[in-house]
Structure formats: structure tokens, C-alpha cells
Amino acid sequence: MRSTTKAFVASAFVLIALACTFQSTHADGRVVYALNAGGPAVTVRGIEFESDLDDVTQAYPSGVSAESLIQIRNTPSEELPLYQTERYGLESFTYQIPTPQQDGEFVLVLKFAEVYFQAANQKVFDVIVNHRHVAAADVDIFGSAGFAIAYDIHVEFSIADGMITLDGESSSVEDTFPLEFAKGSADNPKICAFAVVAGTVDDALELLPLPSEPEPSPAQLQEKMQQEQRERAVKEAAAAAAASRESSDSQEPLPEIGQTKAKLRSQKRRSAKNNTESSLPVMEIGIAVGVLLLINIVYKMVASK
């Protein structure tokens, strides 16, 4: 009897420990669950992010935990631990998330930072909730944010009567539901940290504000300057071409004027030629008449003698 009682008590303690692990207490009661992937437990803005390095909270398959010392440029120093560690998988991997004990509206906050690839479309994956709800499709961290820049995704869902609803589609849930990072079209899926917050996106942003706009790196500043120079050169070339066209348009009538003058001179020459040609018969007739008159006069003079 005593052994049965001891076993029951031990089992009860295990269940309580698991419940405490899954339903962590936070400074703000709106946080249902929070986890720091690939790193130790940390407290950020009063929110306790558990570690996934133990057997209870780890992903399955476990994948690979990684840490980077690269400075994430657009987040306060206190939040750096959330973006400098990660878990990635050579295949899809899944966490079991405790189902909120109260029905209501919730937000899943997903935190990422790309610290390896430096081009878009090099890492593309999906995030799936409860096996069937696509929370985020074709996640491309670099394509959305850039290199070493914090990037958050907010996914709204609701729990009611044992059903989870996301984007108008519902499915049944148990005490926990799976959060899967599914292998996509390029490389491997990953996650830096995530949290489930009760309420709306505004509530989530109040607790975990979006990362600020990062200061541009020297390379980005140089690229921006070169881009501005290219754009300015294109504009100047376009303006010069437009001015050249306008100048050509304004000079086009001049050849026409010259051609008109040439035509007038040609017409005058033809007219003068025609006048000359038309006056020749008249002159010839006049000469002939004069010759006849002269012959008549000479004849008369000879006859009178």
C-alpha cells in the first residue's frame, strides 16, 4: 500500500512539474508560453523564455542548436539572446506547445534572424500549426529583413471548445498542439525564439515590440550611394536625350524654309527661261518684217531711176 501511495505521489509530482514547465509563470499574465530556441533560459522584458535544451521542451527531431556572436543591429542588447541562438533542422522539426487553459484570442510571435545566408531565396520554409494550419508560408528571412536583422512574424489564432482556429479553418486540440517548422524549397527550417500571447497583435507588440529599423551598414551605405549615382546618371542621360530631341524638333523647319527658297529660285529660273523662249518667235517675226520693208524700199529706189 505504501509503495502504491509513493508511486502515486511521485507521479503527481512529475505531472505537476510538467505542468509548471509548460505553463510558465510570467511577469505579465498575458504570456501563455515562451521559448528561446537553441540557447539557455532568459528573461526579456519580464517574460521568461524557457530553454529547449532539456528533454521536456526540446524539439522533435531535435535538429541542431546553434549560437552566433554576430551583432543583430536593430534590437536592444537585452533582446540579443533571443536572436543570437537558434535551432535548425536538416528536416522538418516540431515543438509541442501547451494549449491555453482559457478560451480566447491569441498571437503566436515568431522571432528570426538570418546570420548565415546573405542573399534571398537561400533559406525558405513554412511554419505549420496543429498539423494543418499554415501559419507562415515561404518564410525567407533574408528576403524579408536582410542579414543579421531581427525579424518577427505575428500569427493570430483562437481557442474555443477544444478547437483551434487559424485563418478561418478549425481543428481539434488536446492539452498540447504541434508547432512545426517544415522544410521548404531551400535549405533548412529554423527558429530563434517564439511566444504565445493572449489577446491581439497590439497586445503582443506592447509586450514584445517590433524590432526597430536597423542602422545601415557601411556596405549598405556604399551600395545606396552607388545606386543613387546610377539613378542620377540615368536621369541626366534622359534629360540630355530629351533636350537633344527638342533641339532637333526646333531646327526641323529650317531645312523646309531653305527648300522653299530653293524651289522659288528654281521656279523663277524656269519662268525666265519660259519668257525668253516665248519672246524668240516675236523677235524673229519682227526681224523678218524689217528685212521685207528694207527690200521694198530698195526696190522702189531702183525702179524710180
Q: Mean pLDDT, the chain, as a whole number?
A: 81
pLDDT digits (tens, 9 = 90+) for 54-68: 877 788 888 899 999
Could you write out the DSSP letters of every residue in 93-122? EEEEEEPPSS-EEEEEEEEE-B-S--STTS
Q: Degrees (nearest 5) of the Cα angle 24, 115, 141?
A: 75
Residue, of 208 and 86, whose pLDDT is higher: 86
pLDDT of 299 strictly over 80: no
pLDDT at 2: 44
Residues 63/90, Cβ–Cβ less than 8 Å:
yes
Between the alpha carbon of residue 125 and those of residues 19, 67, 169, the distances in Å are 31, 20, 21
Residues 192/123, Cβ–Cβ less than 8 Å:
no
pLDDT at 191: 98
* C-alpha 73: how far from chain center: 20
Residue, of 247 and 138, whose pLDDT is higher: 138
Q: What's the rounded mean pLDDT across residues 237-259?
A: 69
- Rg from Cα positions in the chain: 47
Least confident range of 164-168, 205-209, 262-266, 271-275: 271-275
Confidence of residue 99 (pLDDT cuts 50, 70, 90): very high
pLDDT digits (tens, 9 = 90+) for 261-282: 566 566 666 665 555 555 555 5
pLDDT of 25 strictly over 50: no
Q: What's the rounded mean pLDDT across residues 292-302?
A: 74
pLDDT of 288 strictly over 90: no
- Quick one: what percent of the chain has pLDDT higher than 70? 71
Residues 152/144, Cβ–Cβ less than 8 Å:
no
Residue, of 231 and 161, whose pLDDT is higher: 161
pLDDT at 202: 94
pLDDT at 287: 75
